[in-house]
Amino acid sequence: MPRVPRWVVFAGVAVLAPLAVEAQGATPPTGCTAAEHRQFDFWLGRWDVTVSGQAAGTNEITLEEDGCVLHEHWVGSKGGTGQSFNWYDRAAGRWHQVWVDNQGTGLQLAGTYADGRLTLTGTAPGPGGVPQPQRLTFFKNPDGTVRQLWESSADGGATWQAVFDGLYRRKS
């Protein structure tokens, strides 16, 4: 049975129980050591990113919060920047990603890892504000590179068009 977050009142403020424990000087439990939490570690590192052989930007993926969060720091070659937070939700058995960039664009995705790839899905506003399915797939390549394929569907998922197809190579 999954653990349900518990709220407690600490100093007159309702907070999640681990925060109250920490505020009282105790160390909250850490729990991101299971194999599922390490599935996306292949994306960790400093990367040069190309699309069709052309520079697209750089990305640094760091491990934060006692190994519970992969934090993305994107800098595009045309000046765009963005960050994502990625974590495994053991209660749901799914990965989550929240993305935000310097244009105010946000995206929330969830998905699973299988066969060397992490696939996340969600929706984003399309033309006229109509929600369109989005799919991001991260491929762990045998040579140590990572492919990120971002696809969007204008027909409810019947067909998909590539929005971004980037190849990550580790910085030397």
Q: Which residues contact 130 (CB under 8 A, 6 or more apart)?
A: none
Q: Where are the domains of the chain?
A: 1-30, 35-170
Burial degree of 131 (CB within 10 A; 0-12, 13-18, 19+):
exposed
CATH number of 35-170: 2.40.128.20
The pLDDT of residue 127: 86
Tens of pLDDT along 51-96? 999 999 999 999 999 999 999 999 999 999 999 999 999 999 999 9
Instruction: Check residue 4 and report its DSSP letter.
Output: P
Q: Does the pLDDT value for residue 20 go beyond 70?
A: no
Burial degree of 171 (CB within 10 A; 0-12, 13-18, 19+):
exposed
Report angle CA 169, 164, 76 to the nearest 5 degrees.
65
The pLDDT of residue 129: 87
Task: Find the radius of gyration of the CA atoms of the chain.
Answer: 18
Closest to 21 (Cα-Cα) out of 34, 33, 5, 37: 5
Residue type, position 121, single letter: T
